[in-house]
Amino acid sequence: MADDRAVSEVKPAFSTRIALRTTVNGNSVAMQVEARTSLLDFLREYMGLTGTKKGCNEGACGACTVLLDGRRVCACMTLAASCADASVVTVEGLAGPDGALNAVQAAFIEHDAFQCGYCTPGQVVSAVACIREGHAKDTATVREWMSGNLCRCAAYPQITAAVLEAAKRGRT
Amino acid sequence: MNDFAYAVASEGNHAVELAAAGGATFVAGGTELLNWLRLGIAAPERVVDIGRIAALRGIREDGDTLWIGALTTLSEVEANALVRDKAPALAEACARAASPQIRNRATLGGNLLQKTRCAYFRVEEPMPWPCNKRKAGSGCAAMDGHHERHAIFGWTTECAATQPSDPAVVLACLDAEIHVVGPQGRRTISAADFHLSQDEAGNAQRETRLAPGELISGYLVRGSAARRSAYVKVRERESYEYAMVSAAAALVVERNVIRHARIALGSVAQKPWRLARTEAELVGKSLQRNALLDAVRMSMAEARPLACNEFKVRLATNAAVRAIEAAGRMQ
Amino acid sequence: MTPASAPPPRAAAELVDGTRIRGGLDQPVTGIGAPVGRPDGAAKVTGRAKYAGEEMPAGTLHAVLVTSTIASGVVTDIDAGHARRVAGVVRVLTHESLPKLAPAPVPPAAQSFMPMQDNRVMYEGQPVAIVLAETLEAANEGAGQVKVTYRAGPLSTFAAAESVKPRSENNGYAFAEIETRAGQPPDPSQVKARIDETYSTATRHHNPMEPSTTLAEWRGDEISLHDATQWTYGIRYALAAMLGIEPRKIHVRCPYTGGGFGCKGYVWPHQVLAVLSAKVVGRPVRLNLTRQGMYTGSGYQPEVVNRVQLAADAGGRLLSIVHDSTNVSSLFDDYVEFGAAGTRGLYASGEIATSTKVRHCNAGTPTAMRAPHEGPGLFALESAMDELAAALDLDPLELRLRNYAEVDPADGRPFSSKKLRDAYLEAARRFGWEKRPARPRMMREGHWLIGWGMASCIMSTFRFASSARVRMRADGTVTIETGTQEIGTGPYTVMPQIAAEVLGVPLERVKLILGSTDLPETGGTFGSSTTLSTGSAVKDACEKLKPKLPLLEKMSEISADGVWKPHGDVGFDATGGKSGYSMHTWGAVFAEVAIDESLGLVRLRRAVGGYSAGRIINPRTARSQMIGGIVWGYGQAVLEESVMDARYGRYLSKNLSGVMLPVNADIPTDIDVFFVEEHDPHASAIGARGIGELGATGVSAAIANAVWHATGKRIRKLPIRLSDVIA
C-alpha cells in the first residue's frame, strides 16, 4: 500500500489521514484519524467514549447506535471521515448537564429494561430517536422500530414498555 | 482492513473524475462497503465519498413521474408522502429493509448495488472455500453445500447467489428508469434489466449493467400503475432480516377486472425476477384467488430449484399471490 | 378436552408475581422479596458502566488473532514479513515465539488443547498467530497480511464420527453419571401406547452482546487482568496451573460483564494468549475477540441427537422412559451434554434408563449454554410426552399430572422442595388452557393457524462453595465484598437486599463490591448458582456481624467473613449431593403460536411461565430473567442454528447477519411470568434455588407442541424452519 505522499502525488484530493473536525455531544473535536477508521472506533479508541459498544462490527446488532445529525445510525458502519462538520450524540450526551437522566433512561430503569447492560446504550439512543420519529405510538410499532437493537438478555417486553412510557412522558 | 485514501466529491461529475484515478470505489452510506472492506470483498486504494452531493439527494414530482435521487436514504424514501402515495410498494420495501439505523444511512443508490448474502461469499480473507464471485474459476461451495436460500431462476453451475435488495424488486416491478453518470456521460438503464442473472452475465462476478466508474444518479418512477402496488417480504425473523422470498405487484384494475399487471419476485435470482407470463395471463382476469394462483404457476413452472430449495418455488408462488391480492385491495 | 383436575382459582397472595410489579427505585420496601430496581441501572443507561478493557493503561498494545482456515492438519509455514512492515505493527507471535505451558486443568480451562503450543490445527478458527500493534487498525491490517501455510489432515465430522461413551475418569465434564437405570422394563401386555422417536437440537452459540475481552498486564512476576468473565477465580486457577505460578499472584477483575450465558464461564485460549503476549512484549496487551472469533473461541452448545422411548398404560401412567442422547465434542475433550439430565427426575415411571454419548469432531470443546443439559434434552422428552398424550387421547397437562413425581424417581430421595403442581395449575388457569381443542388445526384467524402447546421445565440446582465479607461503619453504611460477577443477573440488587434484611438496615445504605480475585472467593456466575450460593455466604457474614454491632460504639468499622458450602463441605454439587434431598427447579410453560402455512411463518403470540424455584429474592429482576429464558427458548425453537459445513469443518456464518437471534418484533409483550411462593430449607441458607437457566428449558418443546397443535405437523428437529412449516 502506498504511503500518504505517493497517493497525494497521484491526486491531491485523496488522503489516508484525515484532520477530522466534528462535534461530539456538543463539544467541538479536532483530531487526526485514519480514513478507514469507523465512527465507532473513533469514539471508543480515540475519544475514550466507551458508552457506545461494539457488538458485531457489521451493522447487525445496533449496540453502536449513535445520533448523527439527529438520526440514529450504526457507528460501526459509518466512516469517521464522513462525519466532518457533523453533530454526533452518544449515550454519554443524553443526560442533562446536571446528570439528570432523560425520560428514556429513567424509564429503562423503572421497567428493568436491561440486564447485562451492554446493548443498553444503543437501545437508549435508539429509543430516543424512535420516539422523536413518531414510532412510539403503540406496542406493535415500537417492537418493529426497536428491532434494530439486539438484546441477548432478551429484555424486549420491558424495553417496549419503557419506550412507550418515555414517549408518553414526552421529554426525551 | 487495508489502508486507503479518501476524498470527498462535491458533485456527480467530480465524483466520476476522482474515481477515474483507478483503484477507486464510491461510498455514500457505507453500510455495505464497510463490510466488503472488512471481509476483503473489496480492497480499494481510493474511496470517493459521494455522500455530500446535494444534487443527488431528494424526491420530487414531475407530472406523472417521481424522481428519487440516488443518495436519498431508505428512511427518506419510506417516509416520503409522494412515494407513499404514488408508489406505496417502494415505501414498503424500504421500510422492510434492514433496521432503522441502517436505513438512515443506506441510500437507494447503494442499496441496488449490494451483493448477495450467500454465506460462502460473505467470508473473510483468506477464503476457506471456493467462490467464483470472490475468485473467478475457484468453484462454488454452495452448489453442493448449503443453498436453501439460493436461486431458483437464472443460475448457473458457477453461481446460484441471489440479489437481496428489497427496493430493487419494486423498482423492477414498476419498470423504473435508473439514471447513471459515468466517464462516458449519462445514460438510462431499465430497473428490470439493471441486474443480471448468472446466465445473462456469463460469469459469476458481473451482477449489473453498470460499467466501471459509473454512478447511479437517481431513479425515475412513472405511470399510474405504481399507485396500486404492494410488496410482501417473507422472512423467518419478523424484522431486521433479509427476505427468504419477496414479491412486488402493481396493478391497474377497472371494475374488478385486471387491465394491467406487473409482478416481480425477490431473492429468487440474482435479479428481481419478473413473471412475464403471469402478467400477460392476468389481463382481463378478476382477483379470484384460484385465477391468480393459476397465472402465477404458469411462470413458476420455469423455476429450476436446487437440491435443497424446492420449497422456495411454493413459497414464491404463494408470496406472489399475496402481493397481487394486496395490490388488488388497494384503492 | 378439559383436564380432569380443573385448575382451581387461587389467592393472589400465594404467588410472587413479578408481572404485577411496577414502581421505581424509590419504593420503600427493601428486604428479601422486594421488587427493588437495579443500583447499577444509572451507570448502565448512561454508558458510565465500564466493561473489561474499556480503560487501558498507557502503552497498551492491541492484539488481533490470526486463525486457522482449515479444521485439521498442521501449520507448515507462517510468513509474517508483510505484517511486520505494516506501520504500527510491533510484533507477530507464532507457536515458535510463545512460552510453553503446563497442561490446562479442565475445568476451569474450557478445553485441554491449547493452541499455539505447537503447529497442530485441531479446529477451524483456532489461533495460529497474534499480531500486536499500536492501533486497532494496524493490528487488523497486520493480521490480514500474515500468510499461513497448512498441510491438511483428515476431518472428523458429526455425521461421520462414531458415538462413544465419554470418559468418566479424569473428566471434569462427567460430573454426573453417564448411564443410569432405575426400575424394571414394563410388562408388554400393560403397554397401551409407545413413542419411539429421535429429536435433535442444533449447534448454537451464546452470542452475548459483549464479545470476550482480555486486558493483560504483567507487574513484575504478578499478572493483572481485566476480563469479560463469568468466573474471576477460574481464570486465576487456570493461569496458575498453566504458567506454574502461585494463584495469589494473578489478579483478575471484571467490573461488568456484558452477558455470558456460559461462554465466559471457563477459560478459553484468548485469555491465556493475551497473558503470554503481554509477557513476551513486556507491555500491556488488550485482546478483543471479534464477533467472528466468538464462534470458535468461546464454546458453543453442541448439536444433540436424542432418542426417546416412552411406554404408558391405558391410564396414561408411564411404564418406561428411555432417553439416549449423543452430542458433538472436540477431538480432545469429552464434553458431556447430559441431554437426559431432566428425564432422570421429572416423571414417575416404572423404568427410567438414560445414557449419553459423544462424537469427537474437529471443533473446539463445547461448553455450557443457557440452558445446558435439560435445555436440549427437554425438547426431546417434552415433545415425546406431547406425542404420547395425543396417542393416548389425553390432555398433555393431564398426562403430566398423572405422572407427577412425589419423590426422585431415580433413587427415591425426597425433593428439597417442589411445588410444580401449583405451577402447572396456575399457569394453565392464566393461559386459559381448558379451552384448548384436543385436535390440531382447530383454531384459525385469517391467514394464521393458531396452536397451543405446553411443556414442563426442570433444571438441576448447581451450588458452589462461596464466601463474602461484610463491613459496617459507624455511620451505618454497609459494604459487602465478594468476588462474584455481575453479568446481568443482578447481584448488585439481591446481595444488598439480603444484607439489609439480615442486618435490619435500609437498602440504600448497603453497597456491594464484586468482580475481583482480591475479594472473597465465590463460584462462577453460571449454573444459576450465584444468588443461592453467594447470597447464602452474604447471609452468613451478616449473621456473624450482628453480634458485633455494639462494637461500633467504639470502633469506626466492624467486619465479618461469611462462608457457605453445599452439604458435605464440598466445593460443588448439582443434584443435592450429601443433603439427602434431590434438588431441582421446576416449571410449566404454555405458548400460543400463529402459523402462516402458505408463507411458512411461525410467530409467538403469548406465553405463560410458572415456576417453583425456591424463595425469590427480587421478583422484578427474577421476572426479567424468566422472560429472557422464554425468549431464549423461542430462539432455540424457531431461529437459532450455527450451521456447520461438514466438508470444511467451518461454520457457514460466524456473525450476527447470517445467524438469527430473536429481535424485539419477534417477542410479544404478553409474556406472563410468576413464581409459586416457596422457601426451600435445604438448597441454600436463604431458601432460594436457581432461576436463570430454568426459564430457558421446556420452551422449545412447548412451541413445537403448539406448532403441531396449529398444523398437525410434528417437527422433531430444531430449529423449526420455514421449509418445515410451509404447506
Q: In A, which residues are within 8 Å of B238 by CB distance?
A: 144, 147
**Please, which chains are in contact with A (at least 3 CB pairs closer than 8 A)?**
B, C
Residue B330 grid cell: 388497494
Spatial distance between the Cα atoms of C194 and C129, rounded to a whole number of angstroms = 55
Is residue B167 within 8 Å of B112, Cβ to Cβ? yes
Read off the C-alpha cell for C301: 452448545
C contacts of A120 (beta carbons < 8 Å): 44-45
Spatial separation of the C-alpha atoms in residues B190 and B204, rounded to whole Å: 21
What would the pLDDT profile of C413-448 be if each residue is shown by its tens digit? 999 999 999 999 999 999 999 999 999 999 999 999
H helix or E strand, kind and range, residue C136: helix C136-145
Query: Is C264 within 8 Å of chain A by CB?
Result: no
Pairwise CA distance, residues B314 & C593, whole Å: 22
Task: Report CA torsion sign: B188, B193, B196, B199.
Answer: negative
| C657 touches A at CB < 8 Å | yes
Q: Please state, in angstroms and as integers, the Cα–Cα distance from residue C573 to each residue in C172, C464, C579, following that order.
A: 13, 7, 10
| Mean pLDDT, rounded, of chain C | 94
* C455 strand-pairing partners: C589
Cα-Cα-Cα-Cα dihedral sign, residues A99, A100, A105, A111: positive
Q: Annotate C14-25 with DSSP letters as a single string.
A: GEE-GGG----T
Answer yes or no: is pLDDT of A77 > 50. yes
Contact C666 B239 (CB under 8 A): yes
Contact C606, C593 (CB under 8 A): no
**Does the pLDDT value for residue C13 go beyond 90?**
no
Closest CA to B97 of B83, B118, B76: B76
Q: What is the 3-state secondary structure (H, E, C) of A79-106?
A: EHHHHCCCEEECHHHCCCCCCCCCHHHH
The per-residue pLDDT for range C218-244, each reduced to its tens digit, is 999 999 999 999 999 999 999 999 999
B244 touches chain C (CB under 8 A): yes
Contacts of B315 in chain C (CB under 8 A): 599-600, 722, 726
3-state SS assignment for residue C192: coil
Which pLDDT tens digit goes with each residue over C79-125? 999 999 999 999 999 999 999 999 999 999 999 999 999 999 999 99
Under 8 Å CB-to-CB from A117, ≥6 apart: which residues? C40, C43, C44, C45, C49, C256, C258, C488
Q: Which residue of C has its CA nearest to B2?
A: C141
Q: What letter does residue C428 receive in the DSSP assignment? A: H
pLDDT of residue C401: 98
Q: Which of A10, A76, A147 sits opposite B21 (nearest CB)?
A: A10
- pLDDT at residue number C30: 64
Q: Does residue A39 have a pLDDT over 60? A: yes
The pLDDT of residue C107 is: 95
Q: Which residue is closest to A52 within chain C, CA to CA? A: C47
Report the share of chain B in percent with pLDDT over 90.
96
Helix (H) or strand (E) holding A123: helix A120-132
Query: Considering only alpha carbons, which residue of chain C is nearest residue B120?
Result: C652
Contacts of C620 in chain A (CB under 8 A): 112
Q: Which residues of C touch B141 (CB under 8 A)?
A: 645, 647-648
Q: Is A59 on the interface with B (CB under 8 A)?
A: yes
Which residues in chain B touch residue C666, judged by CB atoms under 8 angstroms apart? 237-239
Residues C128-162 as b or e (16 or more Cβ within 10 Å = b): bbbbbbebbbbbbbbbbbbebebeeeebbbbeebe
A49: contact with B, CB 8 A cutoff: no
B285-324 residues touching C, CB cutoff 8 A: 311, 314-315, 318-319, 322
CB contact under 8 A, C621 and A34: no
Would you state the cell numbers that stand for residue C377, as one nine-digit string?
Answer: 434434552
**pLDDT at res. A56:** 98
Give the model's pLDDT for residue B102. 98
The partner residues of A66 in beta bridges, in order of sequence, read A73
| Cis bond before residue C8 (omega within 30° of 0) | no
The pLDDT value given to residue C158: 86
Is A15 close to B102, i.e. CB distance below 8 A?
A: no
**C664/A91 CB distance under 8 A:** no
C661 touches chain A (CB under 8 A): yes
Q: Which pLDDT belongs to residue A13?
A: 87
Q: C556-590, pLDDT tens digit by residue?
A: 999 999 999 999 999 999 989 999 999 999 999 99
User: Across the interface, do A73 and B239 touch by the CB < 8 Å criterion?
Assistant: no
Secondary structure element (H or E) that encloses residue C326, with its range: strand C318-330
Q: For residue A54, is pLDDT > 60?
A: yes
Q: Does B237 touch chain C (CB under 8 A)?
A: yes
Residues with Cβ within 8 Å of B6's Cβ and at least 6 positions away in sequence, in order, are: A14, A15, A16, A18, A35, A79, A81, B46, B47, B49
Q: Provide mean pLDDT across the span B222-229.
A: 87
A133, B100: Cβ pair inside 8 Å? yes
- In chain C, the residue whose alpha carbon lies closest to the alpha carbon of A41 is C136
DSSP reduced 3-state for C493? helix
Residue A172: pLDDT band by 50, 70, 90 thresholds?
very low
Report the C-alpha gap between B274 and B289 in whole angstroms.
20
Q: Which of A11, A78, A133 sits opposite B30 (nearest CB)?
A: A78
The answer to whether residue A77 neighbours chain B at the CB level (below 8 Å) is yes
pLDDT in tens, B181-218: 999 999 999 999 999 999 999 999 999 999 999 999 99
Q: Tell me what pLDDT residue C380 has.
A: 98
Nearest to C573 by CA among C682, C485, C458, C484: C682
Which residues of B fall within a CB distance of 8 Å from C707? none
Q: Which three cell numbers stand for residue C382?
A: 417434552
Global pTM reads 0.96
What mean pLDDT is predicted for residues C158-185? 93
- Candidates A101, A94, A103, A102; CA nearest to A165 is A103
Q: Can you read off the three cell numbers belonging to residue C123?
A: 479446529
Cβ-Cβ contacts under 8 Å, C643 against chain B: 119, 146
Contact at 8 Å (CB) between C377 and C318? no
DSSP H or E segment with residue C195: strand C193-201
Q: Which residue has the higher pLDDT, C20 or C318?
A: C318
Question: Given an 8 Å threshold on Cβ–Cβ distance, is C210 in contact with A55?
Answer: yes
What confidence score (pLDDT) does residue C12 get? 34
Which segment of B274-288, C10-24, C286-300 scores lowest on mean pLDDT? Answer: C10-24
CB contact (8 A) between residue C663 and residue A147: yes
Tell me: pLDDT of C183 over 70: yes
Look at residues C343, C9, C3, C296 and name the one whose alpha carbon lies nearest to residue C180: C343
Q: Looking at the partner chain, which of B5, B30, B45 has a beta carbon nearest the beta carbon of A79?
A: B30
pLDDT tens digit sequence for A9-31:
444 589 999 999 999 999 999 99
Contact (CB<8Å) B18/A147: no
Residue A10 touches partner B, C-beta closer than 8 Å:
yes
Q: Please tell me the predicted confidence (pLDDT) of residue A165.
A: 97
Q: What was the pLDDT predicted at A99?
A: 84
Query: In this complex, which chains have at least 3 CB pairs below 8 Å with chain B?
Result: A, C
Q: How far is CA C479 from CA B113, C492, C513, in A?
A: 58, 11, 7
Task: Round to whole Å and give the CA distance between A83 and A77.
Answer: 12
- Which residues of C fall within a CB distance of 8 Å from B319? 599
pLDDT digits over C590-632, tens only? 999 999 999 999 999 999 999 999 999 999 999 999 999 999 9
List the beta bridge partners of residue C467: C563
Chain C partners within 8 Å of A90 (Cβ): 47
Mean pLDDT of C211-224: 98
For C656, the 3-state DSSP assignment is coil
Instruction: Give tens-digit pLDDT for B42-82.
Output: 999 999 999 999 999 999 999 889 999 999 999 999 999 99
Share of chain C above pLDDT 90, in %: 93
Q: Which residue of C has its CA nearest to B128?
A: C69
Least confident among A10-24, B281-295, C346-360, C529-543: A10-24
Q: HEC string of chain B?
A: CCCCEEEECCCHHHHHHHHCCCCEEEECCCCCHHHHHHHCCCCCCEEEECCCCHHHCCEEEECCEEEEECCCEHHHHHHCHHHHHHCHHHHHHHHHCCCHHHHCCCEHHHHCCCCCCCCCCCCCCCCCCCECCCCCCCCECCCCCCCCCCCCCCCECCECCCCCCHHHHHHHHCCCEEEEEECCEEEEEEHHHHECCHHHHCCCCCCECCCCCCEEEEEEEECHHHHCEEEEEECCCCCCCCCCEEEEEEEEEECCEEEEEEEEEECCCCCCEECHHHHHHHCCCCCCHHHHHHHHHHHHCCCCCCCCCCHHHHHHHHHHHHHHHHHHHCC
Tens-place pLDDT, residues C458-505: 999 999 999 999 999 999 999 999 999 999 999 999 999 999 999 999
Pairing of β B245-254 and β B257-266:
antiparallel
Q: What is the mean pLDDT of residues C277-290?
A: 98
Measured CA to CA, the distance from residue C500 to residue C518 in angstroms comes to 24
Chain A nearest-CA residue for C47 = A51
- What's the pLDDT tens digit per position in B166-176? 999 999 999 99
| Residues of A with Cβ-Cβ distance to B5 under 8 angstroms | 2, 4, 7, 11, 14-16, 35
Whether residue A148 and residue B29 make contact (CB cut-off 8 A), yes or no, is no
Find, among C301, C238, C242, C274, the residue nearest to C52 by Cα.
C274
